[in-house]
Structure 1
């Protein structure tokens, strides 16, 4: 085999000058076609990332002199009671929103999969809130939550006094989570519906013949077979929930007090209200580290419960 390979290399003819020119021409054309994407990636992604690291090390006001601080922005945030409360709010929102979103979306996907007619229509109806502008949704939910609103109108005839959903710190976070679940469950519902449709009916029939109860079949057959999609939906929902901004900004304004102020809202206010760009950049990197940590935990833990086809 070695002699054959040597003979082949010996008989290989070097490229002609014309082939070299065509190769160089193809390389130039490829660079020309990819340069707009590369320039855009550099200008709008790589450069802002590098600059955010630089800005986080400085006292960088929007106007005025700048002063190098090193890691002071990071240490100041860690010792700030307000910032610690913001982290707690973000983690609390994620801890409430993530399981509710998964439970509602998976439950509806399973219910739709049992229907013989109207599956596509229901999927479209449940997906509508995902593509509806978030500002319009928040305005509707504010009208529902406010005193003498739609919810009060339903509960009053029953003799139930509705709480101050957006003005009470005990209810504001719950109200924001409920609104977020209604707005976002349709995406995961479609993912789970697609995964359920891919389960062979023969597997379900075999489990039924073996006398497996519906609950056992769901736990031992359905969940393992849709576990890759469960992992994807859980990871993406986890990441987006840490980045929540529109709901607290538009629905509660971060209040009452700072009961619903999240990390992204904090970054926005530090950067565009207080004009403390260094502190805002440092808070943004704290958010990145938090998302990276929970994502790594997800990827490490998925080895124990996610089952891929061999």
Structure 2
């Protein structure tokens, strides 16, 4: 009786081939995201967990002590007048920076969108501070804002006796805000300009034909269409304002008194001047929570005023 012989195995089925391709695609995707994942674990999540752990300890480098203290550092923050002053200074700085930066950037973008002669030079003039070293920019402004500096020298030519900008409380905070506004307003200006150039021309023309004035057309047509960019710029500016350090360190060193001692500079003082790393870690955790809450609130309120949000 003849016996059947088995031939070589046939080609894999279409389902099996599709499964192999899907597995290869998955492995390829993991290979591409693995460096970013490892970097996030090592330089973001890991340090964040470590800071929370340090905040629960009394870590004094000078005394060479590292003991578990529970929530003592956070209880100390609640009753620390210096931390309360830092919160107030950060709130004033953030409010002033966001108001001036966003409004000025939007106004400059509207002007540039008119395509008037000299627009390229004007845009380069306001964007150039963005690429300048932050410390170099701040040092130059420090010389200009001194009691006998360039700004008061110019005012004296007009018969005006200028104040000591960096050594008086109100003018010190105002000076730091203005320096930061001129440093970063160019970036927000470019973002707003890109958004304005994306607004359909036909929509603005239709509003004009319906009898809307330029001002009414801007607020009722243009602003809603660029509201997504306004949200982005607002979030970036708020987060950046709460992280300011170099300007304070170079211009005022937190003075006069504690009028310009913002949270990050207060954190620096506690960690590197007083060597209380556990307490400084608690300050950084609170700062992280504040930034997270403000970002979350801004993101959640977008549905009320951002166009096309549902």
- Counterpart in 1 of 2:215? 215
Mapped partners of 1:208, 1:238: distance in 2: 35
Residues 58-113 of structure 1 show CA distances to partners (whole Å, capped at 9, x for unaligned) of 00123512111100101101100010000000001011110100111000100111
Q: Structure 2: which 5+ runs fail to align?
A: 1-12
Task: Tell me the residue number matched to 1:40.
Answer: 39
- Out of 203-212 and 117-126, give the one that drifted further: 117-126
Give the deviation of 1:236 after TM superposition.
0.9
The answer for the alignment partner of 1:142 in structure 2 is 142
Task: Give me the whole-angstrom Cα distance separating, in 2, the residues matched to 1:117 and 1:200.
Answer: 22
Summarize deviations over 1:253-278 as a string: whole Å, max 9, x none: 11111110111111112112211111
Q: Structure 1 35/224 Cα, relative in aligned 2: closer, same or farther at 3 Å?
A: closer
CA distance in 2, matches of 1:260, 1:223: 34
Cα shift at 1:124? 2.3
Q: What does residue range 242-257 of structure 1 map to in structure 2 within 5 Å?
A: 242-257=242-257
Q: Cα distance 1:209–1:168, how it changes in 2: closer, same or farther (>3 A)? A: same
TM-superposed CA distance for 1:13, in Å, is: 7.4
Q: Which residue of 2 aligns with 1:6?
A: none
What's the offset of the Cα at 1:29? 7.0
Tell me the TM-score normalized by structure 2: 0.88
Q: Quote how far apart the aligned CAs of 1:46 are.
A: 1.9
For residues 255-294 of structure 1, the aligned pairs below 5 Å read 255-294=255-294
Q: The residue matched to 1:114 in structure 2 has which SS?
A: coil
Residues 73, 203 of structure 1: CA spacing in aligned structure 2 closer, same or farther, 3 A cutoff?
same
Q: Tell me which residue corresponds to 1:155.
A: 155
* Alpha-carbon offset, residue 307 of structure 1: 0.3
Deviation at 1:25, TM superposition (A): 8.1
Structure 1 segments unaligned to the other structure (5+ residues)? 1-11
CA distance in 1, matches of 2:28, 2:202: 52
Between the aligned partners of 1:299 and 1:32, the Cα distance in structure 2 is: 32
Q: Is the 8 A contact 2:303 2:309 kept in 1?
A: no
The question of 1:61 aligning with 2:60 is answered: yes
Q: Secondary structure at the match of 1:307?
A: coil
Is 1:129 aligned with 2:129?
Answer: yes
Matched with 1:88 is: 88
Partners of 1:195 and 1:27 lie apart in 2 by 36
Q: How many residues align structurally?
A: 297
Which is helix-richer, 1 or 2?
A: 1
Q: Please, which moves more after superposition, 266-275 or 188-197?
A: 266-275
Determine helix, strand or coil for the equivalent of 1:163. coil
Equivalences for residues 200-239 of structure 1 within 5 A: 200-239=200-239
Please name the residue that 1:77 is paired with.
Answer: 77
Q: TM-score under structure 1 normalisation?
A: 0.88
**1:158, distance to aligned residue in structure 2 (A):** 1.7
RMSD between superposed Cα atoms in Å: 2.4
Deviates more, 1:211-220 or 1:62-71: 62-71
CA distance in 1 between counterparts of 2:27 and 2:199 reads 48
In 2, the alpha carbon distance for the partners of 1:176 and 1:168 equals 12
Partner of 1:4: none
Structure 1 residue 23 displacement after superposition? 8.4
CA distance in 1, matches of 2:42, 2:305: 40
- Secondary structure at the counterpart of residue 43 of structure 1: helix
Residue aligned with 1:66, SS:
strand
- Distance in 2 between residues matched to 1:137 and 1:78, nearest whole Å: 36
